[in-house]
Amino acid sequence: MADNREADFLRELYEDWSSRMAANPAMSIADLRSMFDEWGKPAREPEGVSYKSDEVGGVPGIWAFPQDADSARVILYTHGGGFAVGSADSHRKLAGHLASALGVTAFIPDYRRSPEFPFPAQIEDGIAAYLGLIERGFHPGFITTAGDSAGGNLAIAIAFRLRELGRQLPGSIIAFSPWLDMALRGATLEANAATDALVGRQILEGMISMFLGGTADPLDPLANPLENDFQGFPPLYINAGGAEALLSDAESLSEKARNAGVSVTLSVVPGMQHVFPALAGRAHEADDELLRISAWYRAL
């Protein structure tokens, strides 16, 4: 289990959200988005990082500029939130910490969200932002797609869509607690139901309904990256918390990609919650994980 009381901040935040959703099952999407924008609270403000609002490829978002970052390298960071909530603002500090750890810049797009814009709008915006980065002079090999939860799904799906389009793939991919399986087949959905303070089958089913719009196939390879052939995929870093319900998705991703010959690193930290790197700057478990990712990235 986590040995740092600061790590409890995220679990307590999730428990508060879960209680508020249970007390108001008919909570509006606007209120859900307002609540999930509290996702920015766990991370401390990263030192030496400045931000700028911008549009890249026609997609609005926020840049994170760590001091002394390599301006030729960039992270395209897609935020989590079940494709429906979360924002560039709620995740700018997490993306800033990751960019600082890697010594690069980051762009966090405010991609279109469901239910107003169901699948594949989110992937389309990710592709537009990726191609917009190339138009600005970034070499694809120096772009890392990264994201958490649903954003981790997008970081991977963007690469598959680029492959379909015949475009060069990113140089690397980082996925924090990726939510990949829209068919909800993971064993830890039940096995870790008692330890995950936020994610469960009911909330995921609601997000799936909004994301797929009641028409798309939950096994569509662009909505469900586990249904793809990973041969030729870029180096992949996957992380997850040992207490989370979506742990099986991270494990299945690691196994499938590794079996296809991909260079894969899977880091599972015992006792930690969904997207625990959101504790960056507050809890040593998150900071230690960022150091491991930094070492992995610099060795590529």
Q: What CA dihedral angle connects 120, 212, 115 and 13, to 10 degrees?
A: -100
Tokens of 291: 């150091």
Residues whose CB is less than 8 angstroms from the CB of residue 212 and which lie 6 or more positions away in sequence, other chains included: 118, 119, 182, 218, 223
- CB-hemisphere CA count at 13 Å for 220? 16
* Known catalytic residue at 149: yes
Calculate the alpha carbon distances from 178 to 28, 61, 269 in Å. 25, 21, 14
Residue 68 CB contacts under 8 Å (≥ 6 apart), including other chains: 48, 103
Catalytic residue among 91, 274, 285, 289: 274
Catalytic one among 149, 172, 177, 252?
149
Provide the 3-class DSSP secondary structure of residue 248.
Answer: helix
Query: 274 catalytic, yes or no?
Result: yes
d(CA 252, CA 222): 16
Alpha carbon 186 to chain centroid, angstroms: 18
Active-site option among 227, 244, 285, 289:
244
Count CA atoms closer than 13 A to 111's CA, side-chain side: 37
Positions annotated as catalytic residues are 149, 244, 274
